[in-house]
Amino acid sequence: MARATLRNLDLNLLPTLDALLRERNVTRAAERLGLSQPAVSAALGRLRRHFGDELLHRTGNQYELTPLAQQLRAPTELALAGVHRVFDASPQFEPALSDRTFRLMMSDYATAVLGERLVRRLAEVAPHVRLVLRQTEPEFVDNAAENLRTVDGVVLPHGFLTDVPVTDLFDDTWVCVVSPDNDRVGDELTMADVAALPWVVMWDLPTAFAPAARQLRMLGVEPRVEITADSFLAVPFLVAGTQRIAVLQARLAHRLAATAGVRVLPCPWDAVPVKEGFWWHPSHRRDPAHEWLRRTLRQIGHELAEETTQGL
């Protein structure tokens, strides 16, 4: 019966369902898919008949997902990712000829440090390969064992995931950033400064936090959090012109210091280093394209390490 039901389904509806669940709007879903609005409206009608549910219902001037549609979001994304993997698979991978799409999760910090190099490398050796970058979210990390099926991998520091294959990429250190006109800070930060000054922190959740800031609590110092952000790139701009302090990865802090108008100082405690890795689902292990991606990321990470050693 299950096979008969599957034969009667139009699997072309799967991308449309995914777009509708993401956009919650027929017009935006059509733009996302590159289809006409009437075509997506017709597909929504077929999906409504199949599920016996409205999926999208109007609330005021906008549409909301029905309870069933909410339940369909995760399995639809997972199913679509599985379809992509099936039809992207090949016995060999030729970067110069492939039009494979790689889907990666990474923070804005990793995108700034690693992503730009990856984009340049693809342009050089795999010009037709497409890259989809999505911001890492705490919810993704919370259910990484399942969510990693929907992407090619996530760039994340060690300390958040276990029992998942990882390709080590590069190391970084933590530094503190303060405003140059912060008259409460001298040439060096002290632990007294760290305890007294207000903080900007990146997230503050069990599975989303800056390890260096979390380490302070282990040392008996409770940061006085004034602002919690969800973007590493925003942190120095939230410090500039204030009495606030924040910790930031050294590679990013030095790049943004002049633009944001902040001063970079060593942490007055032995901050745990950043060890970035590329975490991926075991099902990718023998995929030639994914093996190439892992090698490429590892090479870029090695180049970053070499530049640090040379003091560039």
Which structure tokens are listed for 19?
């777009």
Q: Please tell me the distance from the alpha carbon of residue 115 to that of residue 123, in angstroms, as a whole number.
A: 12
pLDDT of residue 73: 86
169 burial via Cβ count (<10 Å: 0-12, 13-18, 19+): buried
**Average pLDDT of the chain to the nearest whole number:** 88
189-235 pLDDT, tens digit each? 999 999 999 999 987 665 556 677 778 888 888 889 999 998 999 99
pLDDT of residue 4: 45
Tokens coding 281: 């689902």
Number of helices followed by number of strands (H, E) in the chain: 14, 12
User: How confident is the model at residue 102, as a pLDDT?
Assistant: 93
Q: Burial letters for 44-79: b for 16+ Cβ neighbours within 10 Å, e otherwise?
A: beebeeeeeeebbeeeeeebebbeebeebeeebbeb
Tokens linked to 199: 């903080």
pTM: 0.75
Task: For 98-139, write each residue's pLDDT tens digit.
Answer: 988 999 999 999 999 999 899 999 999 999 999 999 988 888
**Residue 274 burial (CB count, 10 A):** 20
Least-confidence region, from 20-34, 64-78, 196-210, 275-289: 196-210
pLDDT in tens, 292-301: 999 999 999 9
Residues ≥6 apart with Cβ < 8 Å to 238? 200, 227, 229, 244, 246
Report residue 296 as tokens. 């490429």
Q: Which residues contact 76 (CB under 8 A, 6 or more apart)?
A: 14, 17, 18, 21
- 215 in Cβ contact with 238 (< 8 Å): no
Sorting pLDDT into bands at 50, 70 and 90, what band is 150? confident
Interstrand relation of 263-266 and 174-178 (parallel, antiparallel or unpaired): antiparallel
Binned at pLDDT 50, 70 and 90, residue 7 comes out as low
Residue that has been written with the tokens 């900007």 in this structure: 200
Q: Return the higher-pLDDT residue of 64 and 85.
A: 64
User: Residue 1 has what pLDDT?
Assistant: 38
Supply the Cα-derived Rg of the chain in whole angstroms.
23
pLDDT at 164: 93
Tokens of 300: 């870029």
Is residue 246's pLDDT more than 90?
yes
Q: CA distances (Å), 130 to each of 87, 118, 127, in order?
A: 15, 11, 8
Residue 63 is predicted with a pLDDT of: 85
Q: At 79, is the pLDDT very low, low, confident or very high (cuts 50, 70, 90)? A: confident
Our CA dihedral for 311, 274, 241, 258, rounded to 10 degrees, sits at 30
Pair 298, 160: CB distance under 8 Å: no
